[in-house]
């Protein structure tokens, strides 16, 4: 599967970590992680509150090369937390096989304006087959996340919960 968006950033910024020199590269996402992200699987995004405690939100995700994209409003807690402290963690579990999972750590490297819904509509179509329904463009952003550590795991289990 292909990412939602081609990487449109200038070449000299494509692999730069926030706060690091341009020559330092983040590890590329593995093919397993890319495939998990590219399917319509929900992720859980953890950001840090002012007091350091975690805030976790279920989110839709897109991918742009090795960066993840999350569409949101600039006034949401997740966007405010990420602006103050860009460190984030995500977990993703496959809908069809909940024993296929990824745990990711990264940092928000950009709060990209998305008033035209370019990012949010593409992500929404991945999950619902339709453009994002709430159309207020004011304050829409895409959180661009650079992954600095990733663990992918597929456990040898079959999901067969008992019927009630």
Structural domain contains residue 41: yes
In a domain, 4, yes or no: no
In a domain, 9, yes or no: no
Query: Looking at the domain assignment, is residue 10 inside a domain?
Result: no
Residue 107 lies in a domain: yes
Largest CA distance in the chain: 56
* pLDDT tens-digit map of 54-104: 999 999 999 999 999 999 999 999 999 999 999 999 999 999 999 999 999
**Does 84 reside within a domain?**
yes
Specify the number of domains making up the chain. 1
* Residue 25 DSSP label: B
Q: H helices of 5-153, where?
A: 31-38, 77-84, 118-128
Give the domain range for residue 76.
25-153
CATH code of 48's domain:
2.30.110.10
Query: Does pTM surpass 0.75?
Result: yes
What is the per-residue pLDDT for 21? 34
Residue 59: inside a domain: yes
């Amino acid at each position: 599967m292909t990412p939602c968006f081609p990487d449109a950033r200038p070449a000299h910024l494509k692999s730069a970590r926030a706060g690091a020199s341009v020559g330092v590269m983040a590890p590329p996402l593995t093919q397993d992680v890319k495939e998990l992200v590219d399917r319509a699987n929900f992720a859980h995004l953890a950001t840090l509150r002012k007091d350091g405690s975690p805030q976790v939100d279920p989110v839709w995700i897109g991918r742009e090369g090795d960066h993840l994209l999350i569409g949101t409003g600039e006034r949401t807690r997740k966007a405010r937390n990420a602006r103050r402290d860009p460190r984030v963690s995500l977990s993703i579990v496959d809908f069809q096989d909940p024993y296929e999972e990824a745990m990711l750590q990264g940092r928000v490297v950009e709060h990209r304006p998305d008033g035209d819904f370019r990012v949010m509509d593409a992500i929404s179509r991945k999950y619902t087959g339709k453009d994002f329904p709430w159309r207020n463009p004011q304050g829409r952003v895409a959180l661009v996340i650079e992954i600095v550590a990733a663990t992918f795991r597929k456990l040898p289990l079959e999901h067969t919960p008992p019927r009630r």
